């Protein structure tokens, strides 16, 4: 399967503003691209790149005063298969986890494991650790939160999403991640492209999506608490402990979002 994807984001800056971008396809998926997903900016600026501690490809730029359009487009190859479902995948004992996985058991900016631990154990303490436990957490999160773009808030944490019972895809991911960690299952946040491939078209503007991965049976497995069904054609951009580590843009100063278009289409 070939997928044509890309974005166009417009910012209006009242003064030169440094920005951090995570808008490239993740290095794990770069080999699936027909050509590099080069970021373009319609201003005379210098863009530099580096790979962060979570393996994400990041770019640094100073946007000048006024409007700047950031864009990229590419064609990616995909297997066309839905997310794998491994019903018998067991959880690992904490003492057997690889060193680089341990960090995904800890609390983080949006994932307050200490606050939600009692709730998690009361809800899921009788479920054997493994795929069924993670799926129970996904089911709870999917049913607990009502989706709506009007409910988006950059400061919303997993505990707040659980209390308010509304949010966007990042809130579903952060809550499910937190509950997994409370139950001693490592979980990490993911963001990227997810189009309407294999499902009925959705009458809503395309957006980047957030999902998560849980560490089961010695590997990272994909789960999606917002959609709660295996999907086709995910194109990963970034991973991290929570939404902080995988923010698509971070402005170090005032920057007004003036336009936001994301496209993901099967060719």
DSSP 92: P
The pTM is what? Answer: 0.96
What is the pLDDT, as a whole number, of residue 201?
A: 79
Instruction: Give the number of C-alpha atoms closer than 13 A to the C-alpha of residue 183, restricted to the C-beta side.
Output: 31
Nearest Cα residue to 20 out of 50, 40, 43, 42: 50
What is the pLDDT, as a whole number, of residue 15?
A: 97
What is the pLDDT, as a whole number, of residue 244?
A: 94
What are the C-alpha distances in Å from 83 to residues 33, 38, 79, 191? 19, 27, 10, 15
User: If the chain, 267 residues long, is cut into consecutive pieces of 10 residues, what is the mean pLDDT of each piece?
Assistant: 97 98 97 96 96 97 98 97 97 97 97 98 97 98 95 94 97 98 98 93 84 98 97 97 96 96 94
Strand 166-167 and strand 146-147: the pairing is parallel
What is the pLDDT, as a whole number, of residue 105?
A: 98
2-79+248-266, which class in CATH? mainly beta
Of 1.10.645.10, 3.40.50.720, 3.90.850.10, 3.10.620.30, the CATH number of 94-240 is: 3.10.620.30
What is the pLDDT, as a whole number, of residue 206?
A: 82
Give pLDDT tens digits for 34-54. 999 999 999 999 999 999 999
Give pLDDT tens digits for 193-234. 999 999 887 777 788 999 999 999 999 999 999 999 999 999
Could you give the residue range(s) of every CATH 3.10.620.30 domain in the chain? Answer: 94-240
DSSP 104: G
What is the pLDDT, as a whole number, of residue 202?
A: 78
Could you give the residue range(s) of every CATH 2.60.40.2250 domain in the chain? Answer: 2-79+248-266
Q: Which residues contact 191 (CB under 8 A, 6 or more apart)?
A: 22, 170, 208, 209, 210, 211, 236, 237, 238, 239, 243, 246, 248
């Amino acid at each position: 399967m070939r997928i044509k994807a890309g974005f166009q984001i417009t910012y209006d800056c009242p003064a030169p503003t440094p920005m951090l971008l995570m808008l490239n396809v993740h290095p794990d998926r770069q080999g699936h691209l027909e050509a590099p997903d080069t970021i373009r900016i319609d201003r005379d600026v210098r863009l530099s790149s580096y790979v962060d501690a979570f393996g994400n490809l990041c770019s640094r730029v100073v946007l000048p005063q006024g409007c700047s359009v950031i864009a990229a487009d590419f064609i990616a190859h995909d297997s066309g298969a839905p997310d794998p479902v491994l019903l018998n995948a067991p959880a690992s004992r904490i003492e057997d986890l690889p060193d680089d996985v341990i960090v995904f058991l800890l609390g983080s900016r949006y994932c307050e494991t200490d606050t939600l631990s009692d709730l998690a154990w009361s809800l899921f303490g009788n479920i054997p650790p493994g795929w069924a436990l993670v799926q129970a957490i996904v089911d709870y999160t999917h049913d607990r939160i009502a989706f709506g773009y009007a409910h988006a808030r950059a400061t919303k944490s997993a505990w707040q999403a659980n209390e308010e019972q509304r949010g966007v895809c990042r809130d579903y991911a952060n809550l499910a991640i937190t509950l997994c960690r409370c139950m001693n299952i490592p979980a990490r946040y993911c963001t990227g492209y997810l189009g309407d491939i294999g499902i009925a078209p959705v009458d809503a503007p395309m957006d980047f999506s957030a999902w998560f991965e849980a560490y089961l049976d010695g590997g990272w497995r994909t789960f999606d608490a917002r959609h709660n069904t295996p999907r086709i054609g995910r194109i990963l951009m970034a991973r991290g402990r929570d939404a902080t580590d995988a923010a698509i843009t971070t402005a170090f100063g005032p920057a007004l979002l003036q336009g936001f278009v994301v496209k993901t289409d099967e060719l």
